[in-house]
Structure 1
Amino acid sequence: MTTPPTDVDLDRILVGAHHDPHSFLGAHPTGDGHTVVRALKPLARSVAAVRPTGERTELAHLRDGLFTGTLPGTGADHHLLVTYDDGAEQLHHDGYRFPPTLGDIDLHLIAEGRHELLWRVLGSQVRTLDGVPGTSFAVWAPHAQGVRVMGDFNGWHGTAHPMRSLGSSGVWELFVPGVGAGTRYKYEIHTRDGRLLHKADPLARATEVPPATASVVHTSAYAWRDDDWMASRGGGDCHARPLSVYEVHLASWRPGLGYRELAEQLPAYVAELGFTHVEFMPVMEHPYGASWGYQVTGFFAPTSRLGDPDDLRHLIDSLHAAGIGVILDWVPAHFPKDEFALARFDGEPLYEPADPRRAHHPDWGTLEFDHGRREVRNFLVAGAVYWCTEFHADALRVDAVASMLYLDYSRPHGDWSPNEHGGHQNLDAVAFLQELTDTVRRTAPGALTMAEESTAWPGVTRPTHERGDDGFGGLGFDLKWNLGWMHDTLGYLARDPVHRAWHQDEITFAMVYAYSEHYLLPLSHDEVVHGKGALVTKLPGDWWQRRATLRALYAFMWAHPGKQLLFMGQEFGQGEEFDHDAGPQWWVLDEDRPGHADHRGIRHLVGDLNARYRATPALWELDADPAGFSWIDTSHTEANILSFVRRDAAGRPLVVVANFSPLVHTGYRVGLPDAPAWREALNTDAVRYGGGGVRNDGVVRTEPVPWHGRARSAALTLPPLAVVWLEPADGPVPDPEEADLDEH
């Protein structure tokens, strides 16, 4: 026999502040062979309980939409026949007769912060219980007095669907019969101070199209076709494989295209250019399009601006079919303050730290995650696993790692609190990042993690179990963005050539620390936004000199140790900075005069760089080994010339000579290794690329003239503002002197 509800209990249920509405709503035995049924239908004119036999019992309206009545016998095998003011009748299953959809193991793992499949138990799940189809809703809101779910199915009146608390886990849960995929919903949270908040689901897997903010029930019906890709993507050491990345803002690559239309164009374009991977700027849902996805509100939902989640799956599948890996930009450092999302989710700091000195990010006007809270860390780590498994992402590029690692990041003295040892390292964030990289590596074989980290924090790409001199274990990332290389190289090339002589150490300094981490060299969207201009406009000289220097930059970058990343539009040297509304300036590819390569020439070069790169193991096989690189000469600073050698595991060399001056150098002697004869593998001054066509014709033979510390050397022609790659000439190479004797 159950205890009848008191007026206080009823009041709490009606205002949405009761922790266990299932103890009163639904069917309950009275102890005398009868069953009392209570239904909360605030929009109804009348409610009747209908037994499978057809027996109908009218329920009395007690107050405020609460109907109650007594049925003969015991059991909960009844429906609710609800009549509305317009006379319409609907037959409902009673949702308050079902047990919780989360088990004890789920709740234990959530409380411990170890539920790696969190999206399968929280959020909205389409399911069938006891033969009844519907959707279960579950949300973590430990500070709430009560939680209700509101949506299309109840006229957006949460009163009809209060959720039950599952104890100390802080999870609230409810199964709603009849609700299916495509239904919009939110949670109505009754805070401890009496406010009602309307919140989107943190674990929603789909959303309304912004600026609308509701969550959407979603279940995937997508059938993947990339089994072979997924089975092989983890093969081999990523550092000993070619990896070049085309960074894309999907919403503006071709403005107006959705995921499905992009799947028809993007894979072919990227494959033609020869990139091994694309990187999508964040595809997770965000309210403000001009944030480019970096202020996320839907951490498990692709942006609905471009289609539904299965449409994104189709795009990724299509890229895999074209042999192209997919990197997703992912933002676990911060989130926006929008009232409908994570900020003070249950009325109090929850996803953000309670200490305002740690909660508010001074640079972006956002809130930082509380990486020390188990449930928050679980939310983020499970999200990483989600994108790598449910969407087959091949890598995650983790945004703003530096802002997580330091408690004093962008904060003046007095505006931050030190860690337990008195230092400025964020120990919680370190533990989170280590858990993140280890978990992704274990649960998504072959998926990589990449850190956007701009400081000298040691061991970003060191394994987590290996401790450094600082006492910290490594962070476990596979690659780190080399922002120092980017800054120094662009700084050097932005100078007039006459001034570069005093700054050549800027372009060579990266090799001092090149093997301290595993690096990716980025020329990303960050370099072409916020008034910085396009890459080509950063460079000095007239239009021809700027384009020539850009071509030389690309060839130097592709030959430098480390992987490469280039942002869209820069592959053809567009002259304007990134505009997320207009997208790349595709039209400039059509304005070149016949016979004159301009923007198309730069795109030809990028395609050839990728083709040569992928076909030349010397450029990637020993990326992580100092044996794969050696300088030939960096001393000719007044001429703006430097040269180096790359080698593969078999010792086969590729020589790179860069002339960053606007002068042609003829007869320029360079000490060369090994092979007696060489030929140009690539020359950025080629007419095909928009250059002047200055080149080394045919085979270049070395002579026994010691130079640059080497026994043999050759006299080369160096084009202006250009980079030349030389490879050994395979096969027998006739000696010019012997050829002359034969002719006589």
Structure 2
Amino acid sequence: MTKTENLITMDPFLFPYEDWLDCYMDHYRKTKAWILENNRDLSSFACGHLYYGFHETGDGWVYREWAPNAREISLIGDFNQWDRTKHVLRRISGENWELFVPDSGGLPHGSRVKIQVSDGRSRFDRIPLYCRRAVQNTRTYDFDGQIWNPRESFPWTDGNFHFDNQRAPFIYECHIGMSGENEGVSSFSQFTESVLPKIKKLGYTTVQIMAVMEHPYYASFGYQVTNFFAVSSRFGTPEDLKNLVNTAHSMGIAVIMDIVHSHASGNVLEGPACFDGTEDQFFHAGPRGHHPAWGTKLFNYGKPQVIHFLLSNLKFWLEEYHFDGFRFDGVSSMIYRDHALDRTFTGYRDYFSRNTDVEALTYLRLAADLCREVKPGCLLIAEEVSGMPGMALDREHGGIGFDYRLGMGLPDFWIKTIQEKRDEEWNLGLLWHELNQRRPGEKVIAYAESHDQALVGDKTIMFRLAGQEMYWHMDLASRSPVIDRAMALHKMIRLISCSAGGEGYLNFMGNEFGHPDWIDFPREGNSWSYRYACRKWSLADNPELRYQYLRRFDEEMIRLMQDGDILNYPSELLIHDESAKILVFRKGPFLFFFNFHVSSGYTAHIPLGRPGQYRTVLHTDWNIFGGTNINLHEDLPSHGGRDGTFLFPRLGSRSAGVYQEWG
């Protein structure tokens, strides 16, 4: 059986598209054979960062660049007083350039550098493509490359850290710059010292860091990258980032990064855009090379040099910074020529047409292959909204090779439901469908909200539920039915999303305790304010405020999910009562009982098929979570007859309980 046949066996609805699947797979095989040529494997191919850029030798430095359209290149910087005639590169092949800088005129650590490129018509300055660091010029506000070669290498101590990607990941999504309490840009060091311990206490197993690669426009959230091999200097030094990863590993926490290979900044002064004077060196020429919604440049995944650059970038981050995997951003934009803009995918034919970018699909397959070669067991997540078949299946099943796809429909469902429906109108059948919508055999990272749902113009779930009442009635002394409802639903939404929405779970920092406000980075429209670009951790630390209850619930929820290995069990629906607003489902030895009714309690007779005993292991209405029920871990004797039907305690309105079989 071929790999394509494996995929069709798992999903028979793909049978009419077998020829398309074979075409996609053949393109991948041929491209892989073409780019490897004399290389043993992808890992030995993806070494651009070891050849290009700056490399110290025994008697000086070698600097190389790929610039096929250049007619002349010179290296300039403070090391040579920005003299454009002293250090001229020589062409060593049709497209590659090289310069040797002897020790006598060497490149000291911290030197600022650029190159001047001539294409025969004009001269222009660029930052070397493989620079490990780029820093902003305080006088001109553009960026310079920087030689980064500290005397001592970083002392890694994480050799014994092992990330088991067979266990469900619980991901804490973070942005370093906005992770501080104070208004301003926080740093890697501050995050390591102040935020990592919070993540450890909450029980999350994986940190996902946004905006790692250098991006001049801070408000882009890190998604308009210029310098693909440089750590964003606004957060600290490369060693600061390495210390963050090393410290997380010492806590048993894996670290993955948002990798942006779907597009690049159009800035010509800093990044690969028009690096050698042509728009098609790395990107498609003309309209195809321009993203109409993002205003960014789009890679040409059909060029071997582009594949080489991007695969080398993946290997660099895995090896140099010990990252444990990637969340690939904007995958849907990559794999469709119309970038999936304003499209609803309603049938299989939407995946198989001339609109599908076969070269992008091939690149993603190669990227997954490379990551497995370099770091077996690394975690790969696709931000892919269309549902492309096979995205989160391994190669043996004919898949593209990712471990998970993000369950992006679930947060959209919550927004639409909260915003457009009265509580009495919530459709639990649609909710259950959304929670369990999967491609056959593929795993999903579930989440109720991420950074996307909190950006300016939008709201967090807690803010949608509570509105301005959050500003006045989150203290313990206040009595507010609006806050009571918001807290009850916030806990229920997170519990059902986490338990039934996927095989992994994600939370954006601060949302576990219902962080108020939206996210808004400094920009002209808000007078360059950092007011909404920080995290108010002290709200959850304040014993006089209710935020503590939401954080404590999240901590206990994550602990239970991990200890019980709950996400590795399939979901079995036992009761769906739309009029009573009840959902009851089983996952292994655990029962989940949700009552979304606005006022009525419910007593459930649940047919479980066998006698036994159950213990309450989590309840949203326990008083330690701000509720009214003080009973903890009560044991429930078997009330079942021979048919194994159990009578469970009455569950109050807007509450949920988790019960574990025991004894």
Give the alignment's TM-score, normalised by structure 1: 0.74
Please state if 1:358 is matched with 2:300. Answer: no
Counterpart of 1:736? none
Q: How does 1:455-466 map to 2 (within 5 A)?
A: 455-466=386-397
What residue is the counterpart of 1:273 in the other structure? 202
1:549 aligned to which of 489, 496, 499: 489
Residue 613 (structure 1) aligns with: 561
Give, in whole Å, the separation in 1 of the partners of 2:644 and 2:611.
Answer: 11
Pairing 1:103-502 to 2, within 5 Å after superposition: 115-128=45-58, 132=59, 134-168=60-94, 170-177=95-102, 178-192=106-120, 194-209=121-136, 211-219=141-149, 221-229=153-161, 232-233=162-163, 235=164, 238-239=165-166, 241-254=167-180, 255-340=184-269, 341-409=271-339, 423-467=354-398, 474-494=399-419, 495-500=421-426, 502=427
| Matches of 2:392 and 2:633, distance apart in 1 | 43
State the distance in 1 between where 2:330 and 2:226 align: 17
Question: 1:509 Cα deviation (Å)?
Answer: 3.3
C-alpha change, 1:323 and 1:113, in structure 2 (3 Å) is closer
Quick check: which has more Rg, 1 or 2? 1
- Are residues 692 and 249 of structure 1, via their aligned partners in 2, closer, same or farther at CA, if it must alter by over 3 Å? same
The question of whether the paired residues in 2 share the 8 Å contact of 1:363 and 1:410 is answered with no
**What is the one-letter code of the residue matched to 1:452?**
E
Tell me which residue corresponds to 1:704. Answer: 640
Q: In structure 2, give the amino acid aligned to 1:713.
A: F
Going from structure 1 to structure 2, the CA distance change for 1:482 and 1:697 (only over 3 Å counts) comes to closer
User: 2:336–2:355: 8 Å Cα contact kept in structure 1?
Assistant: yes
Question: 1:654–1:465: structure 2 CA closer, same or farther, 3 Å change rule?
Answer: closer
The separation in 2 between residues aligned to 1:253 and 1:310, in whole angstroms, is 19
* Letter aligned with residue 568 of structure 2: E
CA pair 483-166 structure 1, distance change in 2 beyond 3 A: same
Structure 2 residue 516 is the aligned partner of structure 1 residue 586: no
**Deviation digits for residues 390-436 of structure 1 (CA, Å, limit 9, x no counterpart):** 111011000000000001225699xxxxx9x9611101101100000
Map 1:517-556 to 2 at 5 A.
Answer: 517-522=442-447, 523-539=449-465, 542-556=482-496
Q: Distance in 1 between matches of 2:650 and 2:204?
A: 30
The whole-number CA distance in structure 2 between the counterparts of 1:339 and 1:697 is 61
In structure 2, give the amino acid aligned to 1:484.
Answer: G
In the other structure, the counterpart of 2:597 is 661
Identify if the C-alpha distance between structure 1 residues 428 and 449 changes in structure 2 by more than 3 Å, giving closer, same or farther: same
State the 1:486 CA deviation.
Answer: 2.6
For 2:575 and 2:602, locate their aligned partners in 1 and report how far apart those are by CA, in whole Å: 17
What is the CA-CA distance between 1:108 and the residue it aligns to?
8.2
Q: Number of residue pairs matched?
A: 582
Q: CA deviation at 1:259?
A: 1.8
| Distance change (3 Å), C-alpha of 1:697 and 1:380 | closer
Aligned to 2:574: 632
Q: How many angstroms apart in 1 are the aligned matches of 2:638 and 2:340?
A: 54
Structure 2 contact 595–652 (Cα < 8 Å) conserved: yes
Residue 611 of structure 2 contacts residue 641 of structure 2 at CA under 8 Å; is this kept in 1?
no
Q: 1:208 corresponds to which letter in structure 2?
A: V
Deviates more, 1:216-225 or 1:277-286: 216-225
Is the Cα contact below 8 Å between 2:622 and 2:632 reproduced in 1? Answer: no
In structure 1, how many angstroms separate the alpha carbons of the residues matched to 2:411 and 2:460? 14
CA distance in 1, matches of 2:440, 2:385: 16
SS in 2 for 1:384: helix
Distance 2:630 2:604 in 1: 14
Unaligned runs of 5+ in 1: 1-104, 414-418, 468-473, 623-627, 648-652, 731-744
1:464–1:530 CA distance, 2 compared to 1 (3 A): farther
Cα-to-partner distance string for 1:546-588 (whole Å, 9 max, x where unaligned) = 1110111111122114210000110110121124434112242
SS in 2 for 1:262: helix
Q: Deviations over 1:88-141 (max 9, x none)?
A: xxxxxxxxxxxxxxxxx999879x99731211111112222xxx2x32211110
**Partner of residue 680, structure 1:** 616
Letter in 2 for 1:224: W
Residues 697/453 of structure 1: CA separation in 2 closer, same or farther (3 Å cut)? closer
Q: Distance in 1 between matches of 2:65 and 2:237?
A: 22
Structure 1 stretch 489-498 or stretch 457-466: which is displaced more? 489-498
The aligned residue for residue 518 of structure 2 is 577
Give the drift of 1:179: 1.4
Contact 1:388/1:447 (8 A) holds in 2:
no
> Could you tell me how far apart the structure 1 residues matched to 2:644 and 2:616 are?
21
Query: What SS does the corresponding residue of 1:208 show, helix, strand or coil?
Result: strand
1:243 and 1:422 mapped to 2: Cα distance? 34
Following superposition, the deviation at residue 182 of structure 1 comes to: 1.3
Shift of 1:213: 0.8
Q: Is the 8 A contact 2:284 2:299 kept in 1?
A: no
- What SS does structure 1 have at the residue aligned with 2:385? coil
Checking the alignment, whether the CA contact within 8 Å between 2:618 and 2:659 is kept in structure 1 is yes
Kindly state the Cα deviation for residue 202 of structure 1 after the two structures are TM-superposed: 1.6
The answer to whether the Cα contact below 8 Å between 1:695 and 1:717 also exists between their aligned partners in 2 is no
User: Deviations 1:258-294 (Å, cap 9, x if unpaired)?
Assistant: 2223222222111111100111012111101111211
Runs of 4+ in 1 over 4 A off after TM superposition: 105-110, 410-413, 694-697
The 1-side partners of 2:203 and 2:342 are apart by: 45
- Alpha-carbon distance in structure 2 between the residues aligned to 1:331 and 1:536: 29
Q: Aligned letter for 2:297? A: L
CA contact (8 A) 2:540 2:551 kept: no
1:336 is paired with a residue whose SS is: coil
1:641 aligns with 2:582: yes
C-alpha spacing 1:699/1:106, structure 2 compared with 1 (3 Å):
closer
Q: Is the 8 A contact 1:660 1:720 kept in 2?
A: yes
Q: The residue matched to 1:576 in structure 2 has which SS?
A: coil
Does the Cα contact within 8 Å between 1:683 and 1:695 map onto a contact in 2?
A: no
Whether the aligned pair in 2 keeps the contact of 1:572 and 1:601 (CA below 8 Å) is: yes
Provide the rounded CA distance (Å) in 2 between the counterparts of 1:601 and 1:390: 40
Distance 1:520 1:675, change over 3 A: farther
Alpha-carbon RMSD = 2.7
SS of the residue 2:487 aligns to:
helix
* Paired residue type of 1:172: W
Deviations 1:502-530 (A, max 9, x none): 46323433324364421101321001113
Distance between the aligned counterparts of 1:662 and 1:123, measured in 2?
A: 63
For 1:528 and 1:602, the matched residues in 2 are separated by 18
Is the alpha carbon distance of 1:673 and 1:691 closer, same or farther for their aligned partners in structure 2, counting shifts above 3 Å? farther
Q: Separation in 2 of the partners of 1:536 and 1:175?
A: 58
CA distance in 1, matches of 2:308, 2:325: 19
Q: Determine the structure 1 residue equivalent to 2:433.
A: 508
1:187 and 1:246 map into 2 onto residues whose CA distance is: 39
Q: Work out whether residues 106 and 121 of structure 1, in 8 Å CA contact, stay in contact via their aligned partners in 2.
A: no
Identity among equivalent pairs (%): 25
Structure 2 distance, partners of 1:317, 1:400, is 28
More strand per residue: 1
Alpha-carbon separation, structure 1, partners of 2:593 and 2:418: 16
Distance of 2:290 and 2:280 partners within structure 1 = 13
1:214 deviates by: 0.8
Mapped to 2, the partners of 1:514 and 1:684 lie a distance apart of 31
Deviation at 1:679, TM superposition (A): 1.4
